[in-house]
Amino acid sequence: MNRARIIAAFLVAPLMTPLVLLGADQLHGAPFNLAEQLGAFVFVSGFAYGATILFGIPAFFLFRAKRWTNFFLYVLVGGLIGLLVSLILNYPISFDVLGLEYRGWWALAGALSALVFRMLSGVNFDHVSRAPAHGET
């Protein structure tokens, strides 16, 4: 397990969240203003890094303890973390179409962030290095 790759993955993967959310904003026809987009990128990045610290790092240690390396499991847990963050940030839970779409974009952002983390980190918890036993060839 390469620590430098894991640290780089923790630094790069949360940036997928503002990219997804700003892309969704553009898909809905929002006018493009570079200054506003950069401000929103930095603002949302703060929440993404906060979620990484609160939920992503403990999830990483859980995955490492259980030796889980499945891509699908990373995407599933990342999506659940994104959904949880959307519930925390918008507490009065609404089940209208816009509220569900909002939560869906956050879940997609979390899932993509987890996928990018898994790809960049190159985690391989199944690797066991051991010294040969006495007399073993």
Length of the chain: 137
User: Cβ(116)–Cβ(71) under 8 Å?
Assistant: no
The mean pLDDT value for 111-123 works out to 92
Domains of the chain by residue range? 3-121
User: Cβ(80)–Cβ(110) under 8 Å?
Assistant: yes
Tokens of 88: 């925390």
Those residues with Cβ within 8 angstroms of residue 128's Cβ, 6 or more apart along the chain or in another chain: none
**pLDDT digits 0-9 by tens, 24-53:** 888 888 888 889 999 999 999 999 999 999
Residue written as token pair 């259980």: 66
Q: What is the pTM of this model?
A: 0.81
**pLDDT digits 0-9 by tens, 49-70:** 999 999 999 999 999 999 888 8
Q: Which one-letter amino acid corresponds to residue 72?
A: F
Q: Angle 131-136-137 (CA atoms, 0-180°, nearest 5)?
A: 95
